[in-house]
Amino acid sequence: MKTVDNYNFAGKKALVRVDFNVPLDKEYNITDDTRIRAAVPTIKKILADGGAVILMSHLGRPKTGPEEKYSLKHLVNRLSAEFGTTVKFAPDCIGDEAVALAQGLQPGDILLLENLRFYKEEEKGDPAFAEKLASFGDVYVNDAFGTAHREHASTAVVARYFPKDKVTGYVMQAELDNARRVLENAERPYTAIMGGAKISDKILIIEKLLDRVDNLIIGGGMSYTFVKADGGQIGSSLVENDKLDLASRLIAMAKDKGVQIMIPVDSVIADAFSNEANVDTCLSHHIPENWMGLDIGPTAREQYADVIRNSKTILWNGPMGVFEMSNFSVGTEFVADAVMEATSRGAYSLIGGGDSAAAVNQMGYTDKVSYVSTGGGALLEYMEGKTLPGVAAIERDDY
Ligand SMILES: Nc1ncnc2c1ncn2[C@@H]1O[C@H](COP(=O)(O)OP(=O)(O)O)[C@@H](O)[C@H]1O
Ligand SMILES: O=C(OP(=O)(O)O)[C@H](O)COP(=O)(O)O
């Protein structure tokens, strides 16, 4: 492996792709800094060698250019405090100002570039955009495990401009080492728990996981696409209508493969997406019009906890409900409790994803599970046996 440990950064400018896609509240305070803390050792290694660091990341999923709530400037104070230096900020990730700031960097300096996704070229993997980013550094470091499943300009394409000087960081190495252990040696019963809101990304992964797991537990916003596909009435719950056929096929496929697929029998419902909304409980197949499922219900909780407690390997990505709101956090807490209990009895529990890590931290369980990964989708894709583009771009000489 080409890693930061085998590279001397003295006198070099390191272009470091990190995953600083952290949750922010309405006042733009960081509500969970797991991904920032994770990136610190790599940055410190570069600085200790006598290098300078140019940090680049995305934040959220901006659709049409710059937006205040997706600005990485909200992270500057946190980073400056962490490193005991004033972290410089380029308010545009490319262009004259960024060029001048990068050129002026001295050993020990840190520059943070504005959100790469303010340019559509980032997600398109545009080579000209990647080349502009590449011009800032002498060496490319990819430490963004959470985004390693994306073949974007900054996560993969940029590596082409550093044929000899490209390495992975400590986050990437630790994550891959840990995930590989589970991938190659999962004790049974093996249970995957999937939830959250990124349905179209994660539903595709289920098919591959069906070849590996004994139980597949579905919760969170993803549930209602399955409930609707199964003929249920889901009110105004989150749904991806173009994935209904796929959801039906997955239910049938699980039966064929002898995998127990679990969809929440009941849900906590609300008449608005708010903690102040009216709240009730009902069967997930009979959610009234204009009400939405925002958490798994009391029966589903018990059923899920039962299966989890009896598992020997647990892979969990995505909260069971809108855990950020106290009225809809019980399902996630229940599942977290069961994961913790199974772990204390010797199971290996791997929990991944920005929001999932935040949920586990919020409950104080981080040290009571086997490993908390900074990646959600990336972890799942790796666990289905895929080569991650962000890793391939570093490892392959011909990328
Ligand atoms: N039933 C639901 N309806 C709408 N959103 C939900 C529901 N359940 C969970 N969510 C939201 O899903 C988000 C996390 O999804 P996701 O990004 O897929 O997870 P992770 O970041 O852990 O990979 C959380 O913000 C949570 O509020
Ligand atoms: O938060 C992330 O992934 P996750 O929600 O799967 O944990 C990563 O930063 C990737 O973000 P993306 O799914 O918008 O490419």
- Shared domain check, 195 and 143: no
> How many angstroms separate the CA atoms of 147 and 94, rounded?
20
Residue 147 Cβ contacting ligand 2 at under 6 Å: yes
Q: Tell me: do 87 and 201 sit in the same domain.
A: no
Do residues 244 and 307 both lie within one domain? yes
**CA separation for the pair 380, 56 (Å, rounded):** 24
In a domain, 398, yes or no: no
Position 354 scores a pLDDT of 87
- Predicted local distance difference test score (pLDDT) of residue 47: 98
Look at the alpha carbons of 12, 148, 325, 361 in this order and tell me if their dihedral is positive or negative.
negative
Residue 349 lies in a domain: yes
Query: What is the reported pLDDT for 181?
Result: 85
Alpha helices, H only, 236-329: 244-257, 298-309
- Do 312 and 368 lie in one domain? The reply is yes
Regarding the beta carbon of 221 and ligand 1, being less than 6 Å apart is answered yes
Residue 31 Cα, ligand 2 centroid: separation in angstroms? 16
Tell me: do 17 and 130 sit in the same domain.
yes
Whether the CB of 23 sits within 6 Å of ligand 2: no
Q: What is the DSSP letter of 12?
A: P
- Residue 397 CA to chain centroid, in angstroms? 27
Residue 388 lies in a domain: no
Q: How far does residue 194's CA lie from ligand 2's centre (Å)?
A: 14
**What's the pLDDT score for residue 283?**
98
Ligand 2: centre distance to CA 195 (Å): 14
Structural domain includes residue 57: yes
Total tally of structural domains belonging to the chain: 2
Instruction: State the residue range of the domain holding 158.
Output: 4-172
For residues 56 and 190, state if they share a domain: no
First to last CA, the chain: 15
- 295 and 196, same domain (yes or no): yes
ipTM of the complex: 0.96
> By the 8 A CB rule, do 133 and 15 touch?
yes
State the pTM of this model. 0.93
For residue 264, give the nearest of 322, 206, 223 by alpha carbon: 223
Say if CB 221 and CB 203 are below 8 A apart.
no
Residue in the block written with tokens 């369980």: 365
Distance CA 166, CA 168 (A): 7
pLDDT at 102: 98
pLDDT of residue 197: 94
Residues 102 and 225 both lie in one domain: no
Mutation choice for ligand 1 from 25, 263, 355, 380, CB with most ligand atoms inside 8 A? 355
Q: Are residues 26 and 160 in the same domain?
A: yes
Does residue 85 sit in the same domain as residue 127?
yes
- Are 86 and 200 members of one domain? no
Rounded to whole angstroms, the Cα distance separating 166 from 373 reads 23
Top mutation candidate among 224, 228, 322, 329 for ligand 1, by most atoms within 8 Å of CB: 322
Domain match, 313 and 270 both = yes
Ligand 1 proximity of 198 Cβ (cutoff 6 Å): yes
| Ligand 2 neighbourhood includes 220 CB (under 6 angstroms) | no
What is the model's pLDDT at position 8? 98
Minimum-distance ligand to the CA of 316? Answer: 1
Q: What is the pLDDT of residue 113?
A: 98
- Read off the CATH number of the domain in which 72 is found: 3.40.50.1260
Residues of the chain with pLDDT under 50: none
